[in-house]
Amino acid sequence: MPQGRRLNLLRALSTVSGMTLLSRITGLARESLKAAAFGAGLQMDAFEAAFRLPNILRRLFAEGAFSQAFVPIFAEYRRQRGLDETRALVGRVGTLLAVVLLWLSIARGPRRAVRSSTCWQAASRRRRARSS
C-alpha cells in the first residue's frame, strides 16, 4: 500500500474514532442534563416517550441498515446515470420518507406516545389487577 494512501486511511480512521468519542461524551452530558432537569418522574417519562419514535428513526436511517444499504446503491446510481437523475432519485426518496414520517407522526404518534409512557403502563397494570 502506498504511503500516501496509508496516511489517508489513518486520518479517516482517527477522524471517525474522534467523532465517535465526541458523540459519546456529548451524549453523556445530554443524559446528565436531562437527569438534572427532570429527575425521575412523570415529566421525564413524557420526555422519553415523546422522543422514542424520532430516536428509532434516527437509528434506523442515520446509523443503521438504511444508510448501509442506500449509500452504495446511491453511489452506483450516480456513477451510471449522472448527477441530474441522482438528484431526482434523492427527491423521490426524500419525499417518500417525509410522507411516511408525517403519516406516522399524525396518525400513529399520539397513540404510541400514550401507550409507551410509563404512566399509562402503570395505570393499565392497576386496572388489570383490580379486575382480577
For the entire predicted model, the pTM comes to 0.42
pLDDT digits (tens, 9 = 90+) for 4-52: 566 677 888 888 888 889 989 998 998 898 888 888 777 788 778 778 8
The contacts of residue 3 (CB under 8 Å, 6+ apart) are none
Domain residue spans of the chain = 1-38, 40-131
Secondary structure E strands in the chain: none
